[in-house]
Amino acid sequence: MALVMAAALLTGCGGSSGGEGSGEKGSAAKSSAQPDTDAGGEQATREVTFEVEGAGKTRIFYGAGTSEAENVTLPWTKTTEVTLKKAQLKVGMPVSIVPGSVKGDDGMYRAASCVIKVDGKKVADNDDGKSEKGCMYMLK
């Protein structure tokens, strides 16, 4: 499981061309989804929400500080708070989700649709399941 998560992170998940969540729109979302640090500037807490759409059951892998894997019933949502330390605020910490396959309307299996939100703002998606790589975002 950790191997799949590491592979997903190394391949740069969410880097699809075109579609929502890519290109300039992703950069704008990245900037606007970063609240201020605490008074000392040493750490900040972000609310990270993972969403996977579809119907039926699938296995998902996600990470926000730790890597997890779950068998879930879709649609599925998980929200967690992530506290970033000073160095992580500077260089970032990857958060990602790799959804399993779901059966499409045409009977063919494809990647489930995934979204990552930070503090309520959408920062990454997999183009409604068109990208098999899942979703990845560098949290700062």
- The model's pLDDT over 12-66, given as tens digits with 9 standing for 90+, comes to 444 333 333 333 333 333 344 455 445 466 899 999 999 999 999 999 999 998 9
What local confidence, expressed as pLDDT, does residue 10 receive? 38
φ/ψ of residue 79, rounded to 5 = -120, 135
Confidence of residue 87 (pLDDT cuts 50, 70, 90): very high
What local confidence, expressed as pLDDT, does residue 40 receive? 60
The string of DSSP codes covering 25-64 is: HHHHHHHHT-----TTSSEEEEEEEEEEEEEEEEEEEEEE
Q: What percent of the chain has pLDDT over 70?
A: 71
Question: pLDDT for 89-132, tens place per residue?
Answer: 999 999 999 999 998 889 999 999 999 999 999 999 999 998 88
Taking the model in full, what pTM does it have? 0.71
Q: In which domain, by residue range, is 12 found?
A: 2-139
Total count of domains within the chain: 1
The string of DSSP codes covering 58-90 is: EEEEEEESSEEEEEEEEEEEEEEEEEEEHHHHH
DSSP 133: T
